[in-house]
Amino acid sequence: MSIQIRGAITPLITPFHDDGELDLDSVGRLVDWQIENGSHGISVGGSTGEPTSQTVEERIQVMRAAAAAIDGRVPFLPGTGTARMDETLELTAEAQRLGAAGALVVTPYYGRAQQQGLYDWYATIAREFPDLPILVYNVPVRAAVDIAPETVARLRRDFDNVVGIKETTRDFEHVSYVLDLCGTDFIALSGIELLCYPMLCLGGDGHLSCVGNFAPRPVAELYDAFVAGDHERARRLHYDLHPLVDAAFAETNPVPAKWVMHRMGLLSSPHARAPLAPLSEAGRQRVLALLERSEHVAIPA
């Protein structure tokens, strides 16, 4: 199974109008801007995209808009998981129909499944889509469940199309055990911004960083520098990104990112759907102060 999933894959925000309706026209513009600024791939439907506040049909509309805009220029890695199997299968089927490079399937959230339950969940998806690369999306802070490295390895052994993992956990030992058990050809992507560079050092293949939404070039260049063997520059970019990471998480992701993108003129509205609230005044001041420390993002005063 030929896999091209690597590099800086931007987990795209979902644009909304001020009234909360999808702004599908902006999806295409954002995709173009991302590719022009060096992003190696595009993902939608991950945590940064607010998937739990959208219907399945809305998520499919966003996937279609993104796939049409990408038009094969870079790999498309949509998030297709939910807490329900029927919805997950529907979204994953659409990803396959759209020609996605793979499907990023989050561990079923809230239910706190046992490891056998998680194995059975991914096994069902892998059997249903044998020709589609499947990546496990491990995000215990949101899903309330952590898939064990041994469970990932079991899936890897049993299904050729379970090809990788997105690790959104600060337990850095987790990915080390995953790669030890699955082999270093198993795709490992960082979902924690300040672990993007360390993940590459362990043998990872790239990262999905919410910072890439408003600063795609340095996020992509970090990967480019690393694979070119310029570790000094990659490490320098890692530290250059610190204030942007702090800005992105000044409040709950993606609220600050959307506010910054609105100020940059990339979005017509910074709207994030309930239960998320607009960026507070204190949050705005903190974000502005942090952006002043970076040469990579400029927004009007």
pLDDT of the residue at 299:
83
Report the percent of the chain where pLDDT is more than 70.
99
Mean pLDDT of 33-55: 97
Mean pLDDT of 28-47: 98
Q: How many distinct helices (H) and strands (E) make up the chain? A: 13, 7
Encoded tokens for 141: 């802070």
pLDDT of the residue at 120:
98
**pLDDT greater at residue 292 or residue 4:** 292
Mean pLDDT of 17-36: 98
Confidence of residue 266 (pLDDT cuts 50, 70, 90): very high
In this predicted structure, the answer to whether residue 272 has a pLDDT above a threshold of 90 is yes
Q: Where are the domains of the chain?
A: 7-231
Q: How far is Cα 176 from Cα 192, in angstroms, rounded to an integer?
A: 15
Q: What is the DSSP letter of 16?
A: B
- Does the annotation count 119 as an active-site position? no
Confidence of residue 2 (pLDDT cuts 50, 70, 90): very low
| Torsion angles phi and psi, residue 34, rounded to 5 | -60, -50
Mean pLDDT of 247-258: 98
Mean pLDDT of 255-268: 97
Q: How far is Cα 298 from Cα 153, in angstroms, rounded to an integer?
A: 44
Mean pLDDT of 219-237: 98
3-state secondary structure of 106: strand
Encoded tokens for 101: 């490079």
CA 275, 277, 282, 283 torsion: positive or negative? positive
- Does the annotation count 258 as an active-site position? no
Given 109, 119, 122, 166, which residue is catalytic?
Answer: 166
Using CB atoms within 10 A of its CB, is residue 140 exposed (0-12), middle (13-18) or buried (19+)? middle
pLDDT of the residue at 300:
76
Given 137, 197, 223, 258, which residue is catalytic?
Answer: 137
For 104, 147, 169, 173, 194, the CA distances from 120, given in Å and listed in that order, are 17, 12, 22, 24, 32
Q: Tell me the H-state helices in the chain.
A: 24-36, 56-70, 85-97, 115-128, 140-143, 149-158, 172-182, 196-202, 216-227, 231-240, 242-248, 255-263, 281-291
pLDDT of the residue at 3:
65
Q: How far is Cα 119 from Cα 113, in angstroms, rounded to an integer?
A: 10
In this predicted structure, the answer to whether residue 106 has a pLDDT above a threshold of 50 is yes
Classify domain 7-231 by CATH number: 3.20.20.70
In this predicted structure, the answer to whether residue 211 has a pLDDT above a threshold of 90 is yes
Nearest in space to 12 (alpha carbons), one of 57, 71, 59:
59
Encoded tokens for 261: 């993108």
Report the percent of the chain where pLDDT is more than 90.
96
| Torsion angles phi and psi, residue 104, rounded to 5 | -100, 110
Mean pLDDT of 112-129: 98
Q: Which amino acid is at 98?
A: L
pTM: 0.96
Encoded tokens for 179: 């790669």
Mean pLDDT of 197-221: 97
Mean pLDDT of 282-287: 97
pLDDT of the residue at 301:
66
Mean pLDDT of 120-144: 97
Q: Please state, rounded to an integer, the average pLDDT across all residues of the chain.
A: 96
Q: How far is Cα 184 from Cα 205, in angstroms, rounded to an integer?
A: 10
Q: How far is Cα 165 from Cα 204, in angstroms, rounded to an integer?
A: 10
- Residue 220: half-sphere exposure toward Cβ, Cα within 13 Å: 19
